């Protein structure tokens, strides 16, 4: 019963995110709205981590399985993108490096900010 309640909470947040995407005319995926909403709910204390932690853990464990389908779809489309495979691989590599660098830089800035704040 605990898992069902937690799944319903996450489903409600997902539904609300879809509704926000429908109302707000920005080109932002509903999943991003959902992540922001869930973050704000957790940070404000309206939603406690214990209320979604178990199902969240299960979903994190299933994430590699959920990514198999897009990978297989990419392989089935390999014939049609074979002519531009090198640019796609380069863009993927460069994008990954940029995201990693931006994440690292942001983390370092937050750590320095917190250290200054505690001094």
- As a whole number of angstroms, the distance between CA 41 and CA 48 comes to 8
Residue 43 pLDDT class (50, 70, 90 cuts): very high
- As a whole number of angstroms, the distance between CA 12 and CA 117 comes to 36
- Does the pLDDT of residue 69 top 90, yes or no? no
Sorted by where each begins, the domain ranges of the chain are: 2-66
- At 66 the pLDDT is 78
- Does the pLDDT of residue 70 top 90, yes or no? no
The reported pTM is: 0.63
- At 101 the pLDDT is 97
- Does the pLDDT of residue 98 top 90, yes or no? yes
Question: In sequence order, which residues have a C-beta less than 8 Å from that of residue 3 and are 6 or more positions away?
Answer: 54, 55, 58
- As a whole number of angstroms, the distance between CA 94 and CA 20 comes to 32
The radius of gyration computed from the CA coordinates of the chain, to the nearest angstrom, equals 19
């Amino acid at each position: 019963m605990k898992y069902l309640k937690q799944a319903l909470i996450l489903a409600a947040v997902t539904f609300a995110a879809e509704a926000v995407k429908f109302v707000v005319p920005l080109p932002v995926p509903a999943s991003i709205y959902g992540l922001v909403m869930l973050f704000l709910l957790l940070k404000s204390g309206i939603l406690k981590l214990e209320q979604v932690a178990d199902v969240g853990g299960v979903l994190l464990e299933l994430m590699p399985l959920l990514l198999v389908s897009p990978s297989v779809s990419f392989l089935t489309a390999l014939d049609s993108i074979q002519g531009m495979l090198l640019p796609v691989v380069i863009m993927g590599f460069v994008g990954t490096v940029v995201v990693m660098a931006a994440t690292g830089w942001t983390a370092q800035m937050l750590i320095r900010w917190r250290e200054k704040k505690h001094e």
